[in-house]
Amino acid sequence: MRISVIGSGYVGLVTAVCFAELGHEVTLYDNDPAKQHALQQGLSPIHERYVPELLKRHLGGKLKLSNSLADSVGQSVAIFVAVGTPPTVNGEADLSYVESVAREIAANIKDYKIVVGKSTVPVYTSEWVRRVMLLNGAPADLFDVASNPEFLREGTAVTDFLYPDRIVIGTDNLRCTETLQQIYRPLTDGSYYQRGDAIPAPKPMTGAVRLIATTAKSAELIKYASNAFLAMKISFINAVATLCESVGADVDQVKEGIGSDSRIGRQFLNPGLGYGGSCFPKDLSAYRAVARECGYDFRLLEEVMHINNEQRERFLRKVRHALWTLKGKRLGVLGLAFKGGTDDVRESPAVAVVKSLIDEGCRIQAYDPAAVTNAREILGSQNIEYVASALDAAKDADALLVLTDWEEFRTLDLVELHKRLHYPIVIDGRNMFNPDAMAERGFIYTSVGRPDVPHEIPGATNGSPRQKPNFRTPASPTVKVP
Ligand code: UDX
Ligand code: UDX
């Protein structure tokens, strides 16, 4: 099938390379010349697993780049709109890019097209797109508007696309449903998975991929509700972690206990600095705004956002607690991306924490495997040095802060780490290390929702707080689950 994708951000680029991988003829358009230029050289503008391989496989073949929206519309049956929907000052989704694309499609329509919303948008957007197209001269019988939300996590976006839990298509007529079903058939009939060159499955397939056909409005709501629910799960476990800290319980044990209930599940129960990224923060605000506009005050979402913001404050308090005064302190930082596996720093809790620490007079030595270029644009270079390895970040630092869950941090050489630090203090905002292992190696270790170790600072005297970091002592001893 001939498909065009408008917008080559995370969502658009992954969608385009994956449709090409499924055998469709894809045209990718973006109005940003820098992105187009990078792609023309075969370079991925984003750090995303398998995108470089798929670009290599399909660019110039099944995947063509276009610098004309009109041309790419002209060549396709289905047009997937994946332009940004950033938040406005009121927290609503800014739909002006979606509107301008709809206007341009309308101006260039000559035969039947399906305009498919991929961007995360409020309910009623499909109706508005239809209206804008009609107002701009598109004949009603020449187009349909559908919603096909994405559930792509950065870092695993390609396998999320090719091995989805479900595909949701929201349409308001059969013709449109059938076309979208056809586009996804290689996944729903399993033929893609029989191919010798298929991108490997991230987990064993347990059956055919389910395609859920809904109305456009339901599909739009499914997307917001899914992200809001996941964010709620994260805030819930963060609130539980706070309680664990107050009573001296261990959130890992609590998480195991509640996550083993199949109705709850283990995923998205990792406490820490809270959620960030280009989706959850903006989608929650937008969902709240949409609900309010539709007459419902979705206060639960307010609390989810409130708990999320508090996590950063709580972490900063732990840093102050461990070091007493912050002015002039040298802090090693591991991680700047909003989560591991990506170079994206949009709404990154790590960046927010570093900003606050710089404002409080700290000097930062930061390491991130992929996000330094993007982080530098926000954080600049005053009082922050970007270093080449995790161990370099620790060099002579008064404490090491773990802010992003990059897998490579788990396997750090702890003996070397200890040697590099000025004080062996590690404050872990992502629970990357085992507290017992840290205690054994002589670290003073604070994480989220787990008792600090050691409970007493070894050899502590009544000297200055700089010699004796002021640690909380759990109210009761650690209880091991048998
Ligand atoms: C975006 C939205 O933010 C998200 O809510 C939605 O689910 C999917 O689209 P992302 O792909 O990460 O996610 O956004 P971004 O990186 O901003 O990419 C959008 C792309 O569209 C950019 O490359 C931009 O240059 C392009 N664009 C934007 C156009 O081609 N035309 C426009 O009019 C506006
Ligand atoms: C999210 C959704 O998962 C995806 O379906 C959607 O379409 C786009 O938005 P993404 O933003 O890439 O994907 O990241 P995700 O893996 O969902 O993590 C979001 C944030 O939550 C990150 O900051 C992450 O560190 C945090 N998180 C996630 C936690 O704090 N705890 C968890 O248990 C899981």
The verdict on the CB of residue 279 being under 6 Å from ligand 2 is: yes
- Which pLDDT tens digit goes with each residue over 393-411? 999 999 999 999 999 999 9
Of the chain, the percentage scoring pLDDT greater than 70 comes to 94
The verdict on the CB of residue 250 being under 6 Å from ligand 1 is: no
Ligand 1, closest atom to CA 10?
Answer: 11
Please give the average per-residue pLDDT across 262-277, as a whole number: 97
Name the closest ligand to CA 152: 2
User: Would you call the peptide bond into 149 cis, given omega within 30 degrees of 0 as the criterion?
Assistant: no
pLDDT at res. 468: 38
Q: Per-residue confidence at 465, pLDDT binned at 50, 70, 90?
A: very low
Whole-number Å distance between alpha carbons of 70 and 105:
7
Give the list of residues 6+ apart from residue 434 with CB closer than 8 angstroms, or none.
Answer: none
C-alpha 85 to ligand 1 mean position (Å): 7
The verdict on the CB of residue 122 being under 6 Å from ligand 1 is: no
The verdict on the CB of residue 151 being under 6 Å from ligand 1 is: no
Please give the average per-residue pLDDT across 232-260, as a whole number: 98
The verdict on the CB of residue 153 being under 6 Å from ligand 2 is: yes
Residue 296 CB burial class (10 angstroms; 0-12, 13-18, ≥19) = exposed
Q: Kindly report the pTM of this predicted structure.
A: 0.91
pLDDT at res. 459: 62
C-alpha 154 to ligand 2 mean position (Å): 8
C-alpha 286 to ligand 2 mean position (Å): 17
Alpha-carbon Rg for the chain, nearest whole angstrom, is 25
**Ordered alpha helix ranges (H), 260-348:** 280-293, 299-323
Residue among 18, 176, 244, 279 flagged as catalytic:
279
Per-range mean pLDDT, top range of 206-215, 281-290, 347-356: 347-356
Asked if 258 contacts 186 with a C-beta cutoff of 8 angstroms, the reply is: no
Amino acid at 374: N
In angstroms, the Cα distances linking 236 to 30, 223, 275, 462 are 38, 20, 12, 39
pLDDT at res. 53: 97
C-alpha 11 to ligand 1 mean position (Å): 7
- Which pLDDT tens digit goes with each residue over 433-453? 999 999 999 999 999 999 999
Please check the confidence at residue 478 and state whether its pLDDT lies above 70. Answer: no
Please check the confidence at residue 76 and state whether its pLDDT lies above 80. Answer: yes
DSSP 107-164: HT--S-EEEEE-S---TTHHHHHHHHHHHTT--GGGEEEEE----PPTTSHHHHHHS-
Whole-number Å distance between alpha carbons of 135 and 169:
25
pLDDT at res. 87: 85
N-to-C CA span, the chain? 57
Residue 413 CB burial class (10 angstroms; 0-12, 13-18, ≥19) = exposed
Whole-number Å distance between alpha carbons of 125 and 59:
32
Ligand 1, closest atom to CA 154?
Answer: 12
pLDDT at res. 480: 40
The verdict on the CB of residue 45 being under 6 Å from ligand 1 is: no
pLDDT at res. 457: 63
Asked if 28 contacts 13 with a C-beta cutoff of 8 angstroms, the reply is: yes
Nearest CA to ligand 1 atom 15: 9
For the beta carbon of residue 147, count every other beta carbon within 10 angstroms.
30
Nearest CA to ligand 2 atom 3: 153
Q: Per-residue confidence at 469, pLDDT binned at 50, 70, 90?
A: very low
pLDDT at res. 91: 81
Whole-number Å distance between alpha carbons of 479 and 464:
32
Nearest CA to ligand 2 atom 28: 268
Whole-number Å distance between alpha carbons of 393 and 330:
10
- Which pLDDT tens digit goes with each residue over 159-182? 999 999 999 999 999 999 999 999
Please check the confidence at residue 482 and state whether its pLDDT lies above 80. Answer: no
Whole-number Å distance between alpha carbons of 227 and 172:
24
Ligand 1, closest atom to CA 31?
Answer: 30
The verdict on the CB of residue 270 being under 6 Å from ligand 2 is: yes
Nearest CA to ligand 2 atom 14: 153
Whether 362 sits among the annotated catalytic residues: the reply is no
pLDDT at res. 246: 97
Amino acid at 152: L
Largest CA-CA distance found in the chain, in angstroms, rounded:
82
Of the chain, the percentage scoring pLDDT greater than 90 comes to 87
In angstroms, the Cα distances linking 26 to 13, 32, 43, 70, 77 are 11, 18, 17, 14, 10
Mutate to test the pocket of ligand 2, among 280, 285, 287, 343 (most ligand atoms within 8 A of CB): 280
DSSP 347-372: T-HHHHHHHHHHHTT-EEEEE-SS-H
Residue 269 CB burial class (10 angstroms; 0-12, 13-18, ≥19) = buried
Nearest CA to ligand 2 atom 31: 270
- Which pLDDT tens digit goes with each residue over 81-113? 999 998 888 888 899 999 999 999 999 999 999
Question: What rounded mean pLDDT belongs to the chain?
Answer: 93
Please give the average per-residue pLDDT across 66-86, as a whole number: 94
Q: Strand, helix or coil at 99?
A: helix
C-alpha 153 to ligand 2 mean position (Å): 6
Whole-number Å distance between alpha carbons of 286 and 277:
14
Asked if 22 contacts 16 with a C-beta cutoff of 8 angstroms, the reply is: no
Please check the confidence at residue 462 and state whether its pLDDT lies above 60. Answer: no
User: Which is it for strands 210-214 and 330-334: parallel, antiparallel or unpaired?
Assistant: unpaired
Please give the average per-residue pLDDT across 53-72, as a whole number: 96
pLDDT at res. 81: 97
C-alpha of 144 from chain center:
31
